[in-house]
Amino acid sequence: MKVLVVVDMQNDFIDGTLGTPEAQAIVPKVVKKIEEFDGEVLWTQDTHSDDYLETQEGRLLPVEHCISASNGWQIHSSVKAAIQSKHPADDQLNGFEKKTFGSLALAGRLYPEVAFGDGIEEIVLVGLCTDICVISNALLLKAFMPEVKITVDASCCAGVTPESHKTALSAMKMCQINIENEGVTV
């Protein structure tokens, strides 16, 4: 079995408070990846509360974003439509709200399948931001499941900057995470 993890494809990271042209450019590629993926599709959602600026992250990144139930918190409409076309009724099982960069709940959901079930042959990650939440989730999944192939599709990811995107890809390679489509420009 293969699993696709769509990381934080939310309005605030695409064209909202923390949006970038690079993030906007990957949206159609992520939609296509979801539509053509032969396997289970899961997603994460960065989720903060109104007291975000009082948290450690908020003090270090003082830009309110992904406040629960706000428009910026929502998954981008075309990405959401693609996900729903794959799993129309599984929102509770396939979506993971997270208050930090990596999702322990996501890793916890997938680990039993590796340890006791069907076996996952590959987990593919796409989304935002390569240098924060994508790398955090990729490393977390690799730590939980060292024998599962973890792949990041670089053409379906964007970092805070193009330079930090490349740095994150290099770091993941060093940790035995497979990087595909690295030379494909956004």
Specify whether the backbone of 125 is left (phi greater than 0), alpha (psi in -120 to 50) or beta: beta
User: Rounded CA gap, 78 and 131, in Å?
Assistant: 23
Determine the 3-state secondary structure of 101 from DSSP: coil
Is a pLDDT exceeding 90 seen at residue 90? no
Classify burial at 30, counting beta carbons within 10 Å of its beta carbon; exposed 0-12, middle 13-18, buried 19 or more.
buried
pTM, entire model: 0.95
Q: What is the pLDDT of residue 111?
A: 86
Instruction: Pick the closest to residue 126 from 27, 2, 12, 47 (CA basis).
Output: 27
Mean pLDDT over 90-108 rounds to 88
Specify whether the backbone of 87 is left (phi greater than 0), alpha (psi in -120 to 50) or beta: beta
In this structure, is the dihedral angle defined by the CA atoms of residues 144, 148, 154 and 155, taken in order, positive or negative? negative
Backbone angles phi, psi at 129, to 5 degrees: -90, 140
Determine the 3-state secondary structure of 10 from DSSP: strand
Is a pLDDT exceeding 80 seen at residue 141? yes
Could you tell me the domains of the chain?
A: 2-180 (3.40.50.850)
The CA R_g of the chain, rounded to the nearest whole Å, is 15
Is a pLDDT exceeding 50 seen at residue 186? no
User: Rounded CA gap, 177 and 88, in Å?
Assistant: 30
Mean pLDDT over 46-68 rounds to 97
pLDDT, tens only, 7-24: 999 999 999 999 999 999
What average pLDDT does the chain have? 93
| Strand ranges for the chain from DSSP E | 2-7, 40-46, 95-98, 122-128, 149-158, 178-180
User: Rounded CA gap, 68 and 86, in Å?
Assistant: 24
Residues contacting residue 77 through CB under 8 Å, at least 6 positions apart:
none
Mean pLDDT over 92-120 rounds to 85
Mean pLDDT over 30-59 rounds to 96
Backbone angles phi, psi at 17, to 5 degrees: -60, -30
